[in-house]
Structure 1
Amino acid sequence: MKDFSEDTKLIAVEEQISQSLEMLTQMELKKLELEIRKEFIESTSSKENVAYERVLEEIRAIEDKISEIKTEEIHSNIPLNSIPKRALQYFRLRRKVEIQEKIFEFLVPQL
C-alpha cells in the first residue's frame, strides 16, 4: 500500500477525487457563466466590442485550464483521466490488506 501511495500520489482516494472534481466543477461553472455573458454581449452589441473579445479570451483560458485539470497533475492531485484505473488498483490493494489482517487475527489466537 505504501509503495502504491508513493507511486501514484494517492493517499486518501475519496478526498483527492472529491477535490479534483470540485476544482473541475468550479471551472466548468465559470466557463458557463462566461458563455452566457458572451451571448448577452453578442445580442446587445457587435463582436468587435472589447468586452466581447475579453470574454472570449477568458473562455479560452478556462478551457485550457479544464483540459490541464483533466490530464495533468495539479498540486499533487491525480489526473482525472486516470481516476478509474488508479482507484480500482487502490481498492484492490486495500481489500488485499484487509483480508491479510483478518487471516492474521484468525491465526494469532491459535499460536
Structure 2
Amino acid sequence: LFQKSTPCNTRLLEPFYGATLGVWNDSEFVKMVAILDMYFVRFPDHQLSGARIGTGESRYKECTALKSLLDFSEQIGKSIAEIGEWLWISVLHDEFKVITKPGQELDNPFSYTPYL
C-alpha cells in the first residue's frame, strides 16, 4: 500500500509540490481559504461543504497550543476547564490561563480567532 520513497518517484512529484510551496505564504490566498472555511463551518449542510477538506488547514493554523488543547479535550472527553485542573507545572498552567482567558472569543464557534 505504501511505497518506499525513491529518487525516481520523488523527482516525479517535484514539479507539483514545487509549484505549491509558496502558496501558504501568500496572504491573499490564505484570506480566501479562511473565508471559504468560515462559510462552510457556519453552513455545514451546504451542497459544496465537502470542499472544506481543502480549507480545514487554515483553521487554527497558527494556534498550535490551542489546537493541541482542543484535540486533547476531545480525545479524553473532558472540558478544557477540567484539563486545566490537571496542569501542575506552573509554566504550563500560566500558559493555559493566557489561552483560556475569560471574555475571549474561544467559546464562539463562528469567531475569527481560529484564523488569526
**Superposed pair shares fold, TM > 0.5:** no
Q: Which has the higher contact order (CA 8 A, sep 6+)?
A: 1
Structure with the greater alpha carbon radius of gyration: 1
TM-score under structure 1 length normalisation: 0.27
TM-score under structure 2 length normalisation: 0.26
